A and B are shown apart, each in its own frame.
Chain A
Amino acid sequence: MKFVDEFRDAELGRAVAMEIMSLVEPGRHYKLMEVCGGHTHSIYKYGIDDLLPANVELVHGPGCPVCVIPMGRVDDGIAIAHQKGVIFTCFGDMMRVPGSDGSLLDAKAAGADIRMVYSPLDALRIAKQNPDREVVFFAIGFETTAPSTALTLKRAQAEGVPNFSVMCSHVTIVPPLRALLESPDLRLDGFIGPGHVSTVVGARPFQFIPADYRKPVVIAGFEPLDILQAIEMILRQLADGRCEVENQYKRVVPFEGNLRALEVLAEVFELRPHFEWRGLGFISHSGLRLSEAYSDLDAEVRFSVPGVRVADPKACQCGEVLKGVIKPWECKVFGTACTPERPIGTCMVSSEGACAAYYNFGRFAREREVV
């Protein structure tokens, strides 16, 4: 398949792995964070970390959209879903994220009309087909997904669909990265930058990382060769004593991003003063809400929601996994009480979650030889 097969070439992969070996200094430990959950998934699926020298460690970042949603937001969604006449719509992964008293899937089993959709446009279609019902879309995701929600809101307003609204839980990627860089318990040497978020925001927003923190960033695609090449580019920067933002994913990511998408985002959304992230707590100006011009389509204005902050279960260590402080298998409940079939934490729900990715692909091959 075009744009895919050429980035899965095993021979080229081994050649890049040899390049990586030649760049590392013996005795130095390299800690690189892959920001995006899509990268985490590919790393485990293709066994990329098994091709790396033992002193190059990959740390999982906060870029899984489902994983960072706190329990209180799930409870808010369930509260709306239980209101009379409501059809509550969301992406499939979101249905299995536990709230304080079960998931949206549990609420559906208990009688709430909750439907999985592929896109917000599907939710709008359901609203048009059910004019006597209130249809709410639970919007999650980073800058990659937010344009889709924004376009749907514009379409709903233009077409006059009064029974459609959005519960907005979109987040932005830069504030949590800055929070992680300020964290005293995490030392990182570089970042594999998020490929699809960068399609929208471009490379510029990540320039604070080399400028303020002297760490290299390489924006990367999601195929095995993309990720290996990004690691090689980061290590080369470190070997050369450079730190800058480089773009490995040029076939998709323009440096300036998608200007039309950025315009739409600026029109439809505004930053919340604070937003709670699972495991990371409240981060200033990190979440989006609907702007004044679209507030009549805001489900949090239209419906009453509990809005209560709920602490994560004590056994769950998703917070530490999301901050890269521990590995999935170091969590007390990983693979025992918490599995993809019966998740306790969000990282075990989504295929982009570090725990689920590791459980599905990596758990049988953890011990590897020191190269």
Chain B
Amino acid sequence: MTVVRVDESRGLALCEEADGTRATVEIALIESVAPHDTVLVHAGTALTRLEHAV
């Protein structure tokens, strides 16, 4: 999913699927997420940021 907006105070981000579907995602498990990052999300939690993992 692509990060759209980050709410650091709540540890949450608004993320978007390729088809435009949006969901609130927990981001506590990865460091410094920013808009436009691509993250691997499982059950509503971001597990890794893909650009940095390549």
Contact = CB atoms under 8 A, between A and B. Distances in A.
B26 A200 contact: no
Contact of B18 (A1, A200, A264): A1
B14 to A, nearest CB: 13
B29 A151 contact: yes
B40 A252 contact: yes
A147 B23 CA distance: 17
A148 B44 contact: yes
Interface string A227-252: 00000000000000000000000111
Contact of B48 (A122, A148, A252, A264): A252
B1 to A, nearest CB: 11
The contact size tier of chain B is 10 to 19
B53 A260 contact: no
Interface stretch (A113-121, A287-295, A317-325): A113-121
B26 A260 contact: no
Contacts of B29: 147, 151, 258, 260-261, 264
Given A148-B26, A252-B53, A122 B44 contact: yes
Contacts of A91: 43
Given A121-B24, A260-B28, A251 B53 contact: yes
Nearest to A141: B43
B47 A200 contact: yes
Interface in B19-47: 23-24, 26, 28-30, 38, 40, 42-45, 47
B24 to A, nearest CB: 7
A145 B40 contact: no
B44 A121 contact: yes
Contacts, number: 69
Given A2-B38, A260-B28, A118 B23 contact: yes
Given A121-B24, A121-B26, A252-B53, A258 B44 contact: no
A199 interface: yes
Contacts of B28: 151, 260, 264
A141 B31 CA distance: 24
> Which of B24, B40, B42 counts the most A-chain CB atoms under 10 A from its CB?
B42
A252 B41 CA distance: 11
B47 A147 contact: yes
Interface string A84-105: 0000000100000000000000
B3 to A, nearest CB: 14
A148 B23 CA distance: 14
Given A147-B29, A148-B26, A264-B29, A120 B44 contact: yes
Interface string A185-206: 0000000000010011000000
Contacts of B47: 144, 147, 196, 199-200, 258, 261
A254 interface: yes
A254 B44 contact: no
Contact of A199 (B24, B38, B43, B48): B48
B54 A251 contact: yes
A364 interface: no
B38 A196 contact: no
22 contacts: A2-B38, A3-B38, A119-B44, A121-B24, A144-B43, A148-B26, A148-B43, A148-B45, A151-B26, A151-B28, A151-B29, A152-B26, A196-B47, A199-B42, A200-B47, A251-B54, A258-B30, A258-B47, A258-B48, A260-B29, A264-B28, A264-B29
Give 9 nearest A-B pairs by CB, closest first. A119-B44, A148-B45, A148-B43, A251-B54, A260-B29, A145-B43, A121-B44, A199-B47, A261-B29
Given A251-B53, A258-B29, 13 more contacts: A2-B38, A145-B42, A147-B47, A148-B26, A148-B44, A148-B45, A151-B29, A152-B26, A196-B47, A252-B48, A260-B28, A261-B47, A264-B29
